Amino acid sequence: MCGIFGYIGERNDAGKVVVEGLKNLEYRGYDSWGVAWKSNGIVSVRKDVGKISDVRSEDFSDICSLAIAHTRWATHGGVTKINAHPHTSCDQTVAVIHNGIVENYEELRRELTAKGHRFVSQTDTEIIPHLIEEELKTTKDFAAAVRATCLRIRGRFAIVAIHTHSAMLVAARNGSPLIVGVKRGGGEVSAPGRIEGYFIASDIPAFLDQTRIVQYLDDGEMLVSDGKSILFSDIQTGEERPKREIEIQWTQQQAEKGDFEHYMMKEIMEQKESVARAVNQDDAQIMTLAKAIREAQGTFLVGCGTASKACLAAEYFFSVIADKHVNVAPASEFKLYHHFLKPESLIVVVSQSGETADVLEAMRVAKSAGSKVIAIVNNEGSTIAREADYALRINAGPERAVASTKALTGQLAVLLLIAYALAGKLREGKTLLLETSSAINDMLNPRYIERLKALADKIQTKRDIFIIGKSWNYPMALESAIKIQEVSYIHAEGFAGGELKHGPIALIEEGTPCIALIGKDEVEQDSLSNAIELKARGGFIIGISPDRYDAFDEWIRVPDATAAQAIVNIIPIQVLAYFLAVARGKNPDMPRNLAKSVTVK
């Protein structure tokens, strides 16, 4: 949540640099935006409500080499210009951007108000520049003032700050991500070329067009940079923390929309290749994970939102393919399971961003019990990947749309692969998934896409949509509802097929769209019977299956993928949700009230 970007270096158009970088982070928040830059010994601030993508970068080409910028997803305080970041101190000498929540802000605000500080916003963030200002009354060292401020804040945060009387950019993190991009003259990791500048951001795509060399700021650490060098240190002790440089394999082209109108459709279409990339894993790594699950005394699959639906599907994968029981828990509920955890337990966490707050909290609950943690992530170098005992990447590449698509199918592919490895059938699993990838490539053709667009146009005025599935198609019914809800704002619900008759079937009226996810498996006939029940009550039945049945009013054909059916069945729903959003005049990349990476609880 919220996009943070800062620059310090040789360039004299830092304002323009941070605005352009911030546009690459808009998926993290788009309620409002703001920029602060230092020029001629003065810190200037400009901010407003709306999307940073509507702002002209050229309007920030003032001569300066130090600037910070922020795009907001509101947590404290309404969406107003005053509440937008950056926030400043009373004397306007300190400017701060922030991601996270200051849990003790009311206590600190009362204390600072008693000392004469004036607050103009309703945000918790405004506490921070005032605390720094107060600390500067007893020290002239800006970095020391930021450090002291961080020690007083409770909660998860990422902070970047600048000061009128300092040539430094100072940043700190505790729970919320911050990544450093290093711009070298040689353009290579540890090259002898001089440092041209540093980028500080909450995600890699912000500076991917400038550099692929990164350094990771870990929890409880801060950094200070003058644009020529950088110093990392422990917030508590001040002890220096040397960092190595890492070269990211993502390319800028992967992170751009190209010829697509929206990132969501681009990322849906990239599943032609991304599923195969997910399968391209080292056999030894997969067998190591399978062995850990086999030997654990209790395995938990944990995720949030879409990732949690991948975990639910994997519960069926492990049961049907490997005859192995695993437990599934939403990350936000996992701390309630601490009674069952022990050193022999294994926690498998699944996350696209690798920064999800509830997942990180679940990991720490597990670690406190001595349990081992395996992470399945997309974002290399993320906090979750670094804190896990073992991490496996799904190799989906950058995912910019808020609604996750290719990351989900990558997660499903990796979890299915592990299930096959657990059953001693890794080669069979790889063959199935590669065949599935090829089938997806054939399926996502222009005619198929146009068919789904026509269906979206047909049902886009409907008030409700219901989705049913059984076995591993049940979690995909839940995921289908999430996709439709979040981008089109149509009320959608997913159910286990047999549960409809226990209440929800009362909501079915003449013409209500009902989507049935069906595969050629042991529950095929049961699923079809559920669809017929809906049709008998007037439901408009949309069948997604390898075969056509008389019960279907509309049939969306998918390949017969056996155990990988969940992967191919969810893709047409992703396309349908996209076109429902477009038909209703919504931006599928930026659904209201949502952000890509949920880094606050």
Active site residues: 2, 596
Helix (H, G, I), strand (E, B) or coil at 476: helix
3-state secondary structure of 392: strand
The Cα–Cα gap between 537 and 450 comes to: 29
45 three-class SS: strand
Q: What is the distance between the alpha carbons of residues 424 and 419, in angstroms, rounded to a whole number?
A: 9
Asked if residues 33 and 16 have their Cβ atoms less than 8 Å apart, the reply is no
Q: How far is CA 241 from CA 131, 198, 222, 228, 351, in A?
A: 25, 17, 9, 18, 27
> What is the rounded CA–CA span in Å between residue 511 and residue 427?
45
**Tokens read off for 10:** 């040789």
Measured in whole angstroms, the distance separating CA 458 from the mean position of its chain's CA atoms is 31
Nearest to 403 by CA among 204, 597, 589, 592: 589
Q: Per residue, what are the HEC states of 169-185?
A: EEEEEEECCCEEEEEEC
Residues 6+ apart with CB under 8 A from 133: 89, 90, 91, 93, 94, 117
Q: Kindly report whether the peptide bond that precedes residue 86 is cis, defined as omega within 30 degrees of 0.
A: yes
Among 162, 167, 192, 194, which Cα is nearest to 88's? Answer: 162
Structural tokens at position 467: 């989705």
From the number of C-beta atoms within 10 Å of its C-beta (0-12, 13-18, 19+), residue 436 rates as buried
Nearest to residue 31, comparing CAs of 81, 101, 100?
81
Residue 318 DSSP SS3: helix
Count Cα neighbours of 371 within 13 Å in the Cβ-side half-sphere: 26
Three-state DSSP state, 530: helix
CA–CA distance, 479 with 472 (Å, rounded to integer): 11
Angle at 96 between CA 69 and CA 136, to 5 degrees: 150
Residues 437, 279 contacting (CB under 8 angstroms): yes
- Residue 495 dihedral angles phi and psi, to the nearest 5°: -140, 155
The two structure tokens encoding residue 129: 């520049």
445-455 burial string, b = 16+ CB within 10 Å, else e? eeebbebbbeb
Q: Which residue has the tokens 């409500």?
A: 49
Residue 19 tokens, joined: 């605005």
Q: Is 507 helix (H, G, I), strand (E, B) or coil?
A: helix
